[in-house]
């Protein structure tokens, strides 16, 4: 996918646009989104390298399958 053309994003933060085919984590290196090990756990954000900390201004978009 080509990088976003949003001029508000700094050059080093240009990311592909989010669309109906987008899956997983975008723009945060080494982070994954997976299904929890139990049905009650839901979805899990994790990183094998670092602690997970979502900074102020981080946007999170979750799509619900029906």
Q: Return the higher-pLDDT residue of 3 and 44.
A: 44
25 part of a folded domain: yes
Output the pTM of the full model: 0.54
38 part of a folded domain: yes
11 part of a folded domain: no
26 part of a folded domain: yes
pLDDT of amino acid 12: 54
58 part of a folded domain: no
**Cα–Cα dist 29/19, whole Å:** 20
Domains: count for the chain: 1
Give yes or no for residue 3 having a pLDDT over 50: no
End-to-end CA distance of the chain: 26
18's tokens: 């989010």
Phi (first) and psi of residue 41, to 5 degrees:
-80, -25
Per-residue pLDDT tens over the stretch 12-50: 567 778 888 888 888 888 888 888 777 677 788 889 888
6 part of a folded domain: no
Phi (first) and psi of residue 12, to 5 degrees:
-75, -10
Give yes or no for residue 9 having a pLDDT over 60: no
Q: Which domain holds residue 37?
A: 20-51
**Cα–Cα dist 59/66, whole Å:** 23
| 65 pLDDT tier (thresholds 50, 70, 90) | low
């Amino acid at each position: 996918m080509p990088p976003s053309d949003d001029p508000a994003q700094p050059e080093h933060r240009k990311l592909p646009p989010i669309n109906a085919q987008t899956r997983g984590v975008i723009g945060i290196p080494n982070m994954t989104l997976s299904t929890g090990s139990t049905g009650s756990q839901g979805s899990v954000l994790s990183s094998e390298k670092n602690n997970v900390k979502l900074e102020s201004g981080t946007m999170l978009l979750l799509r619900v399958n029906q």
